[in-house]
Amino acid sequence: MPAPDAPVPEARTRRRPACTIATWVVLALGALVTYIVYQNAVTHRSGGDWLPGIGQLIFGSMITAVITVGVGLAAFLRRERNSWLALLPFLAGLGLLVCFLWNYLSHTLLSH
């Protein structure tokens, strides 16, 4: 009696690119919100303020970079379809975080 044919395993479908799309959405919305808050600080500055809103600009950039790196990393780890599209925002956020961290640590460690 011949053995029945083994069922052919179905090809795995790749996940929908939810996190890949989210990297670009987070980057765009984060940049927009940061720009709006920065411009609001510039508009309402006092007479003697130098670089008004620079704290809001740095804080907004760091928050946007952290969330973008997190969502981009999730896209890579989930092996989403077209996850290579998340590479540019991921590297931009990671570069900003590394640059800020390097600058912060070099100034705090060298000041002592």
24 in any annotated domain: yes
89 in any annotated domain: yes
Count of domains in the chain?
1
2 in any annotated domain: no
- In terms of pTM, does the model score above 0.75? yes
Phi (first) and psi of residue 15, to 5 degrees: -70, 155
Q: Report the 10 Å Cβ neighbour count for 109.
A: 8
What was the pLDDT predicted at 109? Answer: 85
Please list the rounded mean pLDDT of every run of 10 residues in the chain (112 residues): 67 79 96 95 86 91 97 94 93 96 90 72
Closest CA to 64 of 31, 17, 95: 31
11 in any annotated domain: no
38 in any annotated domain: yes
What is the domain range of residue 32? 18-42+52-110
10 in any annotated domain: no
69 in any annotated domain: yes
106 in any annotated domain: yes
- What is the per-residue DSSP string for the chain? -PPPPPPPPPPPPPBP-HHHHHHHHHHHHHHHHHHHHHHHHHHT--TT-SSTTHHHHHHHHHHHHHHHHHHHHHHHHTTBTTGGGGHHHHHHHHHHHHHHHHHHHHHHHHT-
